[in-house]
Structure 1
Amino acid sequence: MSAVTSQPSFMLRNVPYPIITAQAVDLSGTVCAPPVNASHYEFTPYEFGSWDPTIGAFTPTKYLGSSLSAGKPVSTNSCITNYDNLGFVIGTSSALLNDPGIGTDEVYDATFANFCTIPDATVSTDPDDIAVNAGIAQVLAIPNVELLSVADLYAPWPNPFYNLTSAPQVSDSETLSMVDGGESGQVNPIVPMLLPSRQLDVIIVNDNTDGTDNFPSGQELVNTYEQAKVAGLTRMPYVPPFEYFAAHNLTSHPNFFGCQNDSVATIIWVPNAALTPIGGNTSTNKIQYSEAETVAMVANGAAVMSQNNSEAWAKCLACAFMDKSNATNLPAVCTTCFTEYCVDP
């Protein structure tokens, strides 16, 4: 991932700046997934770390994989590079195999759901271990999968903040066991965008969560709003309770949160919808796609973001940005747009 910093297009700022997020799970107890208030970690071409006050530390992405203690390399002779392979980073950000609902249509088998309590073992005849191995094998559709450790279901990253007293949340862990950040109930990684230092005015959220009938319900956005309040992230605009989404059919079209309020960011929330024959509403449990299915899913995503190439939507999208630019005398069409898309309970 860090190698992109030497690419001419990146150096000239001609491409988007990627921020890929994930969360960590403490496997020292019986916790399988990150809690609702879990810290958000960021992978960028330059740094990896978390702004969470109980971590508050970053390290060069290029040297992820190197063993550090108290912020210093354990080896004085060499550091590890290329551990930040982009495929591994993206895989970490979407790692879900620790979730007992994946592959089971969210019918939580008691044994599978409690696998974190099963002792690690390289060889085991325990019925629970055997049941978990069978469940994982079924999920992956790979024969003879052998679960050697619970940790095998997580993306392992050598903890660069090991023994770092200023990062008490993770200073005791030599390894960060990381998973998809959506497991904490915030599938859309909005929190890192709310940091005051980033000074973002507009955030576009393409919501593809599988809520009602595998379409977004709005619950994930509500969860982010609630956690942002707890964390004191004042750039988060007001989001009404979950019941409001259903009562006002907000999931049927894009919405603007934070209109005409310079103290908060505007969130342009674009929920997934069936705008092409395939609909785009496949379950998270589906982990294999044919080439044709992939093309169809991308086509539906393009239709959602462009609202079927709607010229009116394009104008309203521009109005949402102009609203935060302190522009005066906005076009008359913006008044119509704000009436249609701004959520102001």
Structure 2
Amino acid sequence: MSLTIEVYPRVHMGLISMHEGGPRRNGGLGFSIAAPSALLKFEPADDFSLIDNRKVPMGEPERRAVLARLRLVSGRFPFRSSVSITIEGDMPTHFGMGSGTAIRLACLEGAFLSEGLTYNSADVVMASGRGGTSGVGISTYFSGGFVFDLGIASEKAAGFHPSSRGNVMSLPLLLKQTNLPRWPLGICIPRACKPKSQAEEIEFFASSAPIDACSSYEAAYAAVFGVLTSVLEQDYEAFTSAINLMQGTKWKRLEAEQYGSGLERARSSLRRLGADCVGMSSLGPALYFFAPGERLQEINDLQAELDCEVLLTTPNNSGRKVVEHQC
């Protein structure tokens, strides 16, 4: 039996509790989108191997880390053989769209399926080592939609780290997961902004966290009374206003400031061309923006003028797709 798993990006709208002394740490909100996706192909093999054929593949350290995780997990579960994995597709690495988490989860789930093992989503997540910073990526991987999580208890958190270094002693507490209305949106990647490496992401957290408590409270207010309520009420105008409000919160400002004027020019241009809101996903530099369909197409037609790569997409409310094939 061989199989394929198609995985989808997630937009991470922001981390919330990034101060010391609170009862919980991190927490976040975001949603899954339908493109650009990646396709992982699994074949039986004598040893684990991973080939990443994407235009923007993972780096060699990340590739080795995935293989090391697969070998570690195979020693803890009754694995009889291994798999070779090939990755295709357009989902890029290190642009803030959650490819690292999605691909690691898919590699492990594919290995479990290839072995015919019984598992649940928590087994895959705990085996992956992801989810120590935010529960958005681990939740949208399986089910898509919009996710709001409350992070983890502070006594179980070891410092402030990106997802690649989070210490998973317990999974984030999921507050709400629901479908996101299929409001049209686009992804914009400014060509002037170089994506951050895993080492640069770690350094950013080390130099920027913790922030003051009042700034965390401001982000929590915008997230709950702005984003979450507008999703539940399916209120597009309130939703886009809340996204714009989130961009002014301290942690999100610190994330955006890494890219200087290049990102701000792209964001201002999108607003000038009629986007109702523009946000940066995770640590960027990918921007997401919502607008009526005809306006999105106009922006897409002007991507050369914007000096950006633009992709039009929609929310994904169904999570990854698994297809098994008889050899």
TM-score by length of structure 2 reads 0.25
Whose helix proportion is higher, 1 or 2? 2
Higher relative contact order (CA 8 A, sep 6+): 2
TM-score by length of structure 1 reads 0.24
Whose strand proportion is higher, 1 or 2? 2
